[in-house]
Structure 1
Amino acid sequence: MLLHSNFIGFAEPLAKHVFTQLVQSIKELHSRGYAHLDIRHENLHFNANCNLILTNFINAEKPGKDGLTSCSKITMEYAPPEARQANKKQLNKYNAFKADIYQMGVVIYSAMTNVYPQFGEQSLMKKNLKELNLTDELSNLILKMISPNPEDRPTADEILADPWFSLTSHPCSSKLQIGPLEFKELIVYIREQDLQRVEVEDRLSDGAENSLIKVGEILCGKK
């Protein structure tokens, strides 16, 4: 189930379609003063119209004006460094909204690379992203979102204003039809499709564009 750079797997334009809805959801939540604090694959679902639904608000809270929280229930793989430190010391609080941004970064990073980011291994994370031949815009955005320094992470508004979102959309992102399922199931589905396993050499050939469009049509329910 590893998304190898030599195959068309979780395609970047499709990732944009999914990720846009997630960021918009968090933007709305933050605008109301709430932080989710449990953004992970298992809490992301799609309805029959391929609209992303964020679930499980057990950890959600409304921090004070300083935005700080002492929540210790963040899933470890998605916990930002400052949350892990705070939990160990049982003293320090951390910014809940910045933690949400980090978790969204982990969602998209792990969806593309099939590994979780490791604190203190920025060079390895850059290497993993580079091997996927992603656009510089997406790689840079992900790295900003999972920055070990919470002050370097963008807000939801800043993410949506990032240049990456103005790049080409998925061939049929407005009418994807995949039925109700979990986000993690979508990743597995895409990676297991034989038609997705198109080597880079084929993708870069004269018929490359048509190959990618065919993959998009399969995902859209077209035959």
Structure 2
Amino acid sequence: MTMKMFVEDWKFGGVLGEGAFGEVKLLINVNTNAKVAVKMINLRKHNDAHMMVKKEICIQKTLSHENVLKLYGSRQEDDVLMMFLEYAIGGELFDRIEPDVGMPAGQAQYYMKQLLNGVQYLHQKGIAHRDIKPENLLIDENDVLKICDFGLATMFRLKGRERLLDKKCGTLPYVAPEVISGESYHAEPADTWSCGVVLICMLCGEAPFNQASTECSYYRKWITGNYMLTSPWTKLQYSALNLVKKILLPNPKKRISIPQILEHSWINSTFNYKDDQSLYKEPLSKRLIYDDTFDGPNLSYSQPTPCLPSIDMKDVINLLRDKSGSNLCYSQPTHNDDLMINSQLPLTQTQTINLNTFQCMVKRMTRFFVKQDWEKVLEILGAALDQFHYTWNLDESGVITISTVDTRRMPLVFKINLIEMDSKLLLDFRLSKGCGLEFKRRFIKLKHVLRDVIDKDVTVPS
């Protein structure tokens, strides 16, 4: 089977991700192997998307900075609008953040500097992003951070004249208190607040509040100074906490600016980035608790998603057996080459997988090979999904879609693809809608349930 051609010399790869209005897919040049991401929006299906996407294109095409995802161009065919974007092979920043743990301080500092440089550039251009969060920060093959998704971005300054903003938008745990209040607000301090929340997520593996309003008990503790014995603040070293306290000031007029943040002692501390990685050598699965409580504030996603009707896994197996006509079902992507990746990742001597199989896979930790046949794996998986009270279903392409809610009772949807690779079976988990860290918590729990069937002799790009 070969990949579907898009236009002459370009073919579609796999699905990179999903957004509010459509999918992001990979395009590969058959001659040069150049890769481009294409964001595809069905305007007939999403009537309200047209003006928003047009605005997004108008803003993003004016931008050129190493920490901003590049827009190469756009075009419309019938009711499908396509945006051609720089392909960031390293995936999303949230995938580098371990739930409830975070990442080493040197790594967080490295990405924070790049985020600040990118946001400062946007502000110099008079543009507010208004939805800064780890899911909207990508990493390229050179470990360079790229700000993406300008769907909520807007101009706040033109020809030296600045206007106040009044739209309440963004993803709630990252939104500044003045935005939530519903009053008019200045753009730059609001984006700066979001950057501060991202920093806490990187250092602690959790957001500090469900929302920055007095409705949230964690936020009330923050503004009254009664937070020091609670998480995530107990995880922060003094210098980092000092910086965060200056960023997360409720009064935007007193909030530290990005140029001032870049002068702060923590930002300019010396960390050994590579050596810093060794702080967390213990496997993630041994550091996290596999239960359903997840007490404390966590991230959330602002888009509601309808629940899916559950079906019996035996029906799934019978359906896939009928669809495949062979020993194994195929789900999207349907060809080994449809996956994209980091070609720099080493393979162990014990694995028998062809290296070419991995050379276009997006870098993610949420996938693993299994050593059992797919029917046995599905039986175990189905029992686990039912045990966790997840709602799930199977679409016509053979993709399992799981629907649940996070700790804030906000929708969380992710998908599982079963992919055959040179006689091996890969389970590939991908977030569809919701919070990245909450998704990773669920993935870790499911991986723990499947631990006895995971093929540890195969190294998976992560």
Which of 270, 273, 291 does residue 168 from structure 1 map onto?
A: 270
Give the unaligned 5+ runs of structure 2: 1-97, 210-218, 276-343, 346-360, 365-435, 445-461
Q: How does 1:117-196 map to 2 (within 5 A)?
A: 117-118=208-209, 119-122=219-222, 123=225, 125-127=227-229, 128-132=231-235, 134-172=236-274, 181=363
Corresponding residue SS for 2:202 = helix
RMSD (CA atoms) = 2.8
Q: Secondary structure at the match of 1:152?
A: coil
Please state how far the C-alpha of 1:32 moved relative to its aligned partner.
1.3
3-state DSSP of counterpart to 1:144: helix
Q: In 1, are the aligned partners of 2:103 and 2:204 still within 8 Å (CA)? A: no
Structure 1 pair 125–11 and aligned structure 2 pair: CA distance change class (3 A): farther
1:18 aligned residue (105, 111, 119): 111
**d(CA) in 2 for partners of 1:39 and 1:169?**
25
Alignment counterpart, residue 120 of structure 2, candidates 27, 34, 37: 27
1:171-207 per-residue CA deviation (whole Å, 9 max, x = no partner) reads 449xxx889658x58xx6xxx8xxxxxxxxxxxxxxx
Cα distance per residue 1:120-161 (max 9 Å; x no partner)? 2213554435522x3322111112112111112211111111
Tell me the equivalent position of 1:113: 204
Amino acid at match of 2:245: L
Q: Is the 8 A contact 1:98 1:155 kept in 2?
A: yes
Task: Compare CA radii of gyration and give the structure with the larger one.
Answer: 2
**Between structures 1 and 2, the one with greater helix share:** 1
How far, CA to CA, are the matches of 2:149 and 2:205 in structure 1?
A: 23
Q: Is 1:96–2:187 an aligned residue pair?
A: yes
- Amino acid in structure 2 at the alignment position of 1:159: I
For each residue in 1:80-104, what CA deviation from the matched residue of structure 2 results, as whole angstroms up to 9, or x when unmatched?
1111111xxxxx2111111100000
**Compared with structure 1, are the counterparts of its residues 130 and 70 closer, same or farther at alpha carbon in structure 2 (3 Å cutoff)?**
closer
The answer on whether the counterparts of 1:46 and 1:180 sit within 8 Å (CA) in structure 2 is no
CA distance in 2, matches of 1:72, 1:181: 33
Q: Which runs of 5+ in 1 are unaligned?
A: 87-91, 193-220
Report sequence identity in percent: 25
Number of residues paired by the alignment? 175
What corresponds to 2:73 in structure 1? none
5 Å-filtered alignment, 1:44-63, equals: 44-63=137-156
Counterpart among 70, 73, 78 of residue 169 in structure 2: 73
Residue in structure 2 matched with residue 82 of structure 1 by the alignment? 178
CA 1:66 to 1:117, structure 2 compared with 1: closer, same or farther past 3 Å? farther
Give, in whole Å, the separation in 2 of the partners of 1:149 and 1:57.
26
Matching of residue 3 in structure 1 with residue 96 in structure 2: no
More strand by share: 2
SS in 2 for 1:45: strand
CA 137–180 in structure 1, closer or farther in 2 if over 3 Å, else same: farther
Letter aligned with residue 106 of structure 1: V
Contact 1:17 1:169 in 2 (8 A): no
Q: Which amino acid aligns with 2:234?
A: E
Could you tell me whether the CA contact under 8 Å between 1:81 and 1:148 is conserved in 2?
yes
Q: Aligned with 1:101: secondary structure?
A: helix
Q: Report deviation, 1:31.
A: 1.1
State the one-letter code of the partner of 2:201.
Answer: S
**Are the aligned partners of 2:262 and 2:268 in contact in 1 as well (CA < 8 Å)?**
no
Give the 3-state SS of the residue equivalent to 1:162 in structure 2: coil
Change (3 A) 1:95 1:125: farther
1:181–1:97 distance in 2 versus 1, CA, 3 Å: farther
Q: CA deviation at 1:26?
A: 0.6
Report the Cα distance in structure 2 between the residues aligned to 1:57 and 1:12, rounded to whole angstroms: 28
Between the aligned partners of 2:226 and 2:203, the Cα distance in structure 1 is 14
> 1:117–1:125: 8 Å Cα contact kept in structure 2?
no
Q: Assess if the C-alpha contact under 8 Å between 2:169 and 2:179 holds in 1.
A: no
Separation (CA, whole Å) in 2 of partners of 1:170 and 1:14: 9
